[in-house]
Amino acid sequence: SGKGKAVAFDVPERQPSPDGNAAAIKSAPSRYHAAAYLRDAPDAFKTKFTTNRSMCDEVDCSLFRYSSYGTRARCDGSGDNKKILVFFYDQRDYTACVSSHVQIFSI
């Protein structure tokens, strides 16, 4: 019943860094990160794509239309906190993806 359900990509919550200087050196200001929790995905998506890699491959295919989409989606966390992380090199593509609630979890 969740076919075609739009799942929003949001800005991941930032955690304070214990070493601000190291964080500043490692930061990539030209990347715009977004995340979507798998708990929000329809059961049909999770049934069809049973591994992290297959889920990420599907997300990659869905977001490839954005010219500044990063190289690969990746999973982080586990259980209810598992999420797919992506990034864009261009703020316009990032904003378009986040604001349009791209239907990455439709099958």
Mean per-residue pLDDT of the chain: 77
67 located within any domain: yes
13 located within any domain: no
41 located within any domain: yes
CATH number, residue 92: 3.30.70.330
- Tell me the residue range of the domain where 79 lies: 29-100
80 located within any domain: yes
Model pLDDT, residue 43: 87
Model pLDDT, residue 24: 44
What pTM value is reported for the model? 0.67
106 located within any domain: no
**Pair 35, 94: CB distance under 8 Å:** no
3 located within any domain: no
Beta-strand pair 32-37/74-76? unpaired
Q: How many domains does the chain have?
A: 1
Q: Identify the band that residue 30 occupies on the pLDDT scale cut at 50, 70 and 90.
A: confident
